[in-house]
Structure 1
Amino acid sequence: MARIIIADDHPLFRVALCQAVLKVWPQAELVETETVAGANVAAKAGPADLLLLDLHMEDSDGLTALLDLRHEFPALPVVVVSASEDSRVVSACQSLGASGFIPKSADLDVMREALAQIRDGDVWFNIEATESEEDTALFDKLASLTPAQRRILNLVSQGMLNKQIAYQMEISEATVKAHITAIFRKLGVVNRTQAVLVAKQLDIGLPEVKSA
């Protein structure tokens, strides 16, 4: 029996996703959550066949959640379900390893078609992706960061000092410095300002327009 994780903070939209999933996997076990943390717990709880992921929830705001989940569960297909239909967001999701991108404006039949194609081992991106060579290189660099490095980069983006980051993450200040050095090297930057500008590319097209 298939096990499908649905991570979206809109109860009504989760209902729509459940309906679409059950048309493709009639006997599926559905695991619903409204946070990225919940999706992580569900994925660790047992083998899953698919994760449907909203990019903008209470504990996420951008592509970082996709990066972290792909890193933590590389064999788990992740399909982004988003209200943003920006072609760069679609391209970024494709570059960062998503198996598909389903816009929230899609009707039930389109969702079913997308899920059936992904079930059969294919990918599904029906919005034309536009990504320059520069974008491709950028997302490759961001994808090379470890989850800890992405968390530190996020805290740097919030203006935290090394001492504050060390306290927040319960690691030594020397470890923070080592991570930041590695971050600069991987991103090809020389200071915090440049690193923050690169990090902001993970939020392209976001936050999403929430439906009622």
Structure 2
Amino acid sequence: MSEVEADATAPRRGRPPTTVDGLSVPERLVETAVRLFSEKGFERTSVQDVVSAAGVTKGAMYHYFSSKDDLLHEIYARVLRLQQENLERFAALDAPVAERVRLAAADVVVTVIENLPDVVIFFRSLHQLGADRQAEVRRARRRYHETFRAMVADGLAAGEFRADVDPDLVVDYYFGAVHHISAWWRPDGALSAEELGREYADLLLASLLPR
């Protein structure tokens, strides 16, 4: 993540956060915002609603988040940070590129499902963010996609993947499918998050490996 993105998504520095029910104040505020945005919608949830439900003061909230937009941004930014950290770890492994791509492809499915309320709420309300915040999200997602694309390109260069594969198309195809998961996956369905991650990764690799 760039310095601009890191500054925008990290809690403000200052006094150490106190805790509420075992969570730091920023964590408590974000978790409460996820619940309220899900129940009432972003537009119909006020800052007062969030701080009252979180059990903190407005002053405590404004110490970490300057607006309701900041809360919405952080809901998704923390998922992106997790996914980027995981992806960079997989990309750095001393392993065949096909295995690294498989691990990364499965991980993005699992992390989306494990954070499904955050992902659903964010994309439902993305248009509510200001232009600067939307641009920050696009930059962070683009960085993730470019890292993933680079692994696919490495597989082509190493001869592990089909020569006729277009890395850009792979990224668009795969992440389009991942983005659609929120429309149909259910916790009581046939596949767990880990099982679905393996299935998606296997389908991707089957399309990349030489026939």
Shorter-chain TM-score: which interval?
Answer: 0.3 to 0.5
- Asked which structure has the greater CA Rg, the reply is 2
Point out which structure has higher relative CO (alpha carbons under 8 A, 6+ apart).
Answer: 2
- After TM superposition, the score normalised by the length of structure 2 is 0.32
